[in-house]
Amino acid sequence: MEKNKEFYTYRLGLGLTKWLDNNKKKAKENKLNGVEDLNLVKSEADLVASSGVAKNAVTLIKQGQRNPEYSTLEYIAEALGVPLSTFIHYCESISDEEVFEQLRKVTKRKR
C-alpha cells in the first residue's frame, strides 16, 4: 500500500481515537485516586461539547472518512487542551504499519 490522502486522513482519525481512549483511561485512574478532572475530554460527546465541532464531523474524522479543515483541527486541539502541533505530532507518531493494518481491516469490512 502507498501513502495517499486516505492514509493520512485515517492516521488523523486513528490519532484522535487513541487520544480519547488514553484520556478515558486517565480519567479512570484519576477517579481511583480521588481526582476528577472536569476539563478532561474523554469521549466523542465531550469533544463535541467542548469544541463546537458537529457530532457528525467528529464521527467522520475519527473514522478516517473526513479530511477536516485547519480551523476544525484547531478547535479539536483546543478542546483537548493542547496546541495543534502537539496533536499533529501525536498522530504522526502512530506507525505506518498500524495505520495500514487498520486500513486493511476497514477495507475488509466494506467488502
Which CATH number goes with the domain that contains 52?
Answer: 1.10.260.40
- pLDDT for 13 equals 96
Residue whose grid cell is 460527546: 45
Here the cell at position 11 is: 492516521
Give the model's pLDDT for residue 50. 96
Domain carrying residue 16: 5-110
- Length reported for the chain: 111
* Cα within 13 Å of Cα(81), Cβ side: 10
What is the per-residue DSSP string for 30-54? HHHTT---TT---SHHHHHHHH---
Q: Return the pLDDT at 108.
A: 81
Q: Which pLDDT score, from 0 to 100, does residue 111 have? A: 66
Tens place of pLDDT per residue across the chain (111 aa):
688 999 999 999 999 999 999 999 999 998 899 988 878 899 999 999 999 999 999 999 999 999 999 999 999 999 999 999 999 999 999 999 999 998 888 878 776
